[in-house]
Amino acid sequence: MTAETNPRFDTNAVHAGQAPDETTGAVIPPVHFSTTYAQDGIGGLRAGYEYGRSGNPTRTALETQLAAIEGGAQALSFASGLAAEDALLRGLLQPGDEVLLGNDVYGGTYRLIARVLGPWGVKLRVVDLSDPAAVDAALAERAPKVVWVETPSNPLLRITDIRALSDKAHAAGSLVVVDNTFASPALQQPIALGADVVVHSTTKYLGGHSDVVGGALVFADAALAEQPKFLQFAAGAVSGPLDAWLTTRGIKTLAVRMERHSSNGQAVAEFLEGHDRVARVYYPGLASHPGHEIAAAQMSGFGGIVSLALGDAAAARRFAESTRLFTLAESLGGVESLLNYPDEMTHASVRGTELAVPDDVVRLSVGIEHIDDLVADLDQALGAL
Ligand SMILES: *Cc1c(COP(=O)(O)O)cnc(C)c1O
């Protein structure tokens, strides 16, 4: 058995694509900065590498690791999550094709489809994919080319049953894309549950240290990767060598980080649920969360994203500006705790649309610091309201 085919996630995360360097024995594969490769006679490539946009060994190492940890046949790495999404959608869709999109997805995904691909003829329909009756009705009305779901969703942590959705979408002749950024493959394996493609903003948990922007696609079937791979080469939104290397390094500790993110997330959610000043807590690990049972069945942990509603926008804004350890900032998934006011920050691009986020909601990205310090910080910020 090679490292690439090891059946266990934690081992793949450390070893897949990471064999010691052939020439020097370096245990950590080097970062290959070279943009071009010597040819032994015209067309005589030594290892298939020709030019940095078409292929780079550091990027290959990351793509091998990504395919292994998501249980896919092939992975592609990009300069950002949205660059990955763009290559995927332009690769799979023709003008006139439609995307059925969950109603609580990353605002940038909606913006890409509605405002960039829309003018080129891609159609968009939005539905609550966590509601089985709404999915049945939407698929019966018309089969889209692609069903695009985020679970847990951003920022309200709605949960969709990936296997049930995949079965229905496949019966209708549609492809299923799961944005697995929030859970990460350490906690949820969409391809094993029936998804055709997994999308990541590796900027978040996979990189894990808020120091590298990147994106990835992982395909259940290599044939489906062909056109997006051609676009990766022909349009060129590739990840650079150092970005790919940093992402690889982050992935090696993903399993242990996600354990701490999940235990801290659960403790923060339980603390907030018991606090008088908090109107509502959104966290799939709470028994009160509408998707709790499905999440418990399809995830091995509930992750580090917790959202809370404070009853009105003024309280939400004041709270977001009153924490000391939780830094007010966009993004999520790093080792440090962050918080964000979606209505004006991450989700400003969907204000006034059917994806708008309630204006009393604050989203926390719970980091891996000591839980007592995190709870004390939230307690003092709530006390200041
Ligand atoms: C951040 C994010 C994206 C976009 O990724 P970038 O790396 O910022 O381009 C897509 N989906 C989700 C769920 C995200 O959180």
106 pocket-lining for ligand 1 (C-beta < 6 Å): yes
Q: Classify residue 96 as left (phi > 0), alpha (psi -120 to 50) or beta.
A: left
Rounded to an integer, what distance in angstroms lies between the CA atom of residue 273 and that of residue 85?
35
**Which atom of ligand 1 is found nearest the CA of 182?**
13
Which residue is closest in CA terms to ligand 1's atom 1?
Answer: 201
201 pocket-lining for ligand 1 (C-beta < 6 Å): yes
- State whether the Cα torsion 235-237-240-244 is positive or negative: negative
Distance 106 CA to ligand 1 centre (A): 7
CATH of 256-383, picked from 3.20.20.150, 3.90.1150.10, 1.10.3720.10, 3.30.750.200, is: 3.90.1150.10
Spell out where the chain has E strands: 74-78, 98-102, 123-127, 146-150, 175-179, 197-201, 215-219, 280-282, 305-309, 327-328, 338-340, 361-365
Give the residue among 81, 76, 168, 171 at the shortest CA–CA distance from 127. Answer: 168
| Structure token pair of residue 361 | 């909601």
Q: Is 204 a catalytic residue?
A: yes
Any residues with CB less than 8 A from the CB of 223 and at least 6 apart, and which?
A: none
Band of residue 2 on the pLDDT scale cut at 50, 70, 90: very low
Q: Is 106 a catalytic residue?
A: yes
- State whether the Cα torsion 38-41-45-51 is positive or negative: positive
User: Domain boundaries in the chain?
Assistant: 9-252, 256-383
> What does the pLDDT look like over 44-86, one tens digit per residue?
999 999 999 999 999 999 999 999 999 999 999 999 999 999 9
Rounded to an integer, what distance in angstroms lies between the CA atom of residue 69 and that of residue 254?
10
**Which atom of ligand 1 is found nearest the CA of 105?**
13
Domain 9-252 grouped into CATH 3.40.640.10:
yes
Which residue is closest in CA terms to ligand 1's atom 8?
Answer: 81
> What does the pLDDT look like over 14-32, one tens digit per residue?
999 999 998 999 999 999 9
What Cα–Cα distance (Å) separates residue 99 from each residue in 109, 122, 144, 213? 11, 8, 6, 26
The pTM for the full model equals: 0.96
In this structure, what are the phi and psi dihedrals at residue 110, rounded to the nearest 5 degrees?
Answer: -60, -45
Distance 20 CA to ligand 1 centre (A): 32
> What does the pLDDT look like over 200-247, one tens digit per residue?
999 999 999 999 999 999 999 999 999 999 999 999 999 999 999 999
